[in-house]
């Protein structure tokens, strides 16, 4: 009998890809995402596997809503979150309610339902700027934005449930994931959109920070490897490539792949507050490689080519999903 998997945030970027991959691996999927008056199912509306996925719309901030969605499920992948760093400066409380209280609701509902695994999604932003590199799971946690602070709190809350209640928690900590369906606000879709528009000048934020970029299918494969592993309950597992590229070099690489000549300028409105800027992120993925057979199938060039091809196939970047990972 196949396992029944609840995925919160399943109508969003990573969540929709993970839902499809779970179906491909013979798992039954319940997709939980934010209620909307149009009954819109985000990226799952376009999925070839949409008829195989049960979609439940509710509110991650409401315990009753989460508990009902979890009924009969064996495993929870918790991806629902507010993720936009700039908006976290404007409304920190919204991030507290969604990212911290939402995680509490998942943990509490799962404890009452006695599920087999609670797989919580973290982010490399919790590390802040690298104090050493590559960044392993023992690196200090530094909340350099309200978003990062809420994710640190959510992670620690999940680990406290493991220690206090023996909840079967695992924490997946992806570094920067990119690919089809990513929010138009993210750096790669932003560069692609400006190149598509034929703009000679690209306006971006700070060009010097480096990021470790993982294609979305590789990230989802890592989620499933961690799900199958018996070695990482109560642990954090980094997911990344152990490679880095600066934002400026990334933009030039995309432009070159799209055969566009561009000049890159800095848009001061897109620059983070000085003490909030995360200057360097590069992943140490040894733990993931040790507990599983995970190896990335996509290098940056291949992943960017697939991402560009997808965005070239459509001139809009997102169907308007609100809180997704």
Span 150-176, pLDDT tens digits: 999 999 999 999 999 999 999 999 999
- Distance linking the first and last C-alpha atoms of the chain: 29
Q: What is the pLDDT of residue 315?
A: 59
Beta carbons of 176 and 212 less than 8 angstroms apart: yes
| pLDDT digits 0-9 by tens, 252-293 | 999 999 999 989 887 777 778 888 899 999 999 999 999 999
Q: From start to end of 155-260, where are the E strands?
A: 169-174, 176-178, 201-204, 210-211, 213-215, 236-239, 245-246
Name the more confident of 185 and 115: 115
Q: What is the pLDDT of residue 271?
A: 76
Beta carbons of 258 and 231 less than 8 angstroms apart: no
Distances (CA, A) of 93 to 88, 98, 167: 8, 9, 27
**Average pLDDT of the segment spanning 180-205:** 90
Structure confidence at residue 37 as a pLDDT band (50, 70, 90): confident
**Gap between the Cα atoms of 185 and 84, Å rounded:** 8
**Gap between the Cα atoms of 323 and 325, Å rounded:** 7
Question: What residues does each domain of the chain span?
Answer: 4-181+214-243+279-298
* Chain mean pLDDT for the chain: 93
**Average pLDDT of the segment spanning 100-115:** 96
**Domain at 4-181+214-243+279-298: CATH architecture:** 3-Layer(aba) Sandwich (3.40)
pTM for this structure? 0.94
């Amino acid at each position: 009998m196949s396992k029944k998997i609840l995925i919160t945030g399943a109508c969003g970027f990573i969540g929709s890809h993970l839902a499809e991959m779970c179906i491909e691996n013979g798992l039954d999927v319940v997709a939980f995402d934010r209620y909307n008056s149009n009954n819109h199912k985000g990226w799952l509306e376009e999925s070839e596997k949409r008829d195989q996925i049960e979609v439940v719309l509710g509110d991650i901030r409401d315990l009753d809503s989460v508990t009902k969605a979890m009924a009969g499920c064996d495993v929870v992948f918790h991806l629902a979150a507010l993720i936009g760093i700039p908006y976290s400066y404007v409304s920190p409380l919204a991030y507290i309610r969604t990212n911290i209280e939402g995680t509490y609701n998942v943990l509490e509902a799962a404890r009452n339902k006695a599920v087999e695994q609670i797989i919580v999604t973290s982010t490399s932003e919790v590390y802040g700027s690298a104090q050493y590199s590559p960044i392993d799971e023992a690196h200090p946690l530094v909340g350099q934005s309200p978003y990062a602070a809420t994710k640190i709190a959510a992670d620690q809350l999940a680990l406290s449930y493991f220690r206090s209640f023996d909840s079967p928690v695992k924490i997946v900590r992806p570094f920067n994931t990119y690919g089809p369906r990513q929010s138009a606000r993210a750096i790669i879709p932003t560069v692609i959109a400006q190149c598509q528009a034929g703009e000679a000048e690209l306006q971006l934020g700070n060009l010097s920070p480096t990021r470790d970029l993982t294609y979305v299918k590789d990230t989802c494969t890592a989620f499933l490897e961690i799900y199958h592993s018996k070695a990482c309950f109560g642990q954090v597992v980094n997911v990344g490539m152990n490679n880095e590229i600066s934002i400026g070099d990334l933009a030039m690489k995309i432009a070159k792949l799209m055969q566009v000549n561009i000049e890159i300028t800095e848009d001061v409105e897109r620059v983070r507050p000085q003490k909030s800027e995360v200057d360097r992120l590069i992943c140490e993925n040894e733990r993931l490689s040790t507990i599983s057979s995970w190896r990335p199938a996509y290098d940056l060039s291949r992943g960017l080519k697939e991402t560009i091809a997808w965005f070239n196939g459509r001139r809009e970047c997102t169907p308007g999903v609100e809180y997704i990972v």
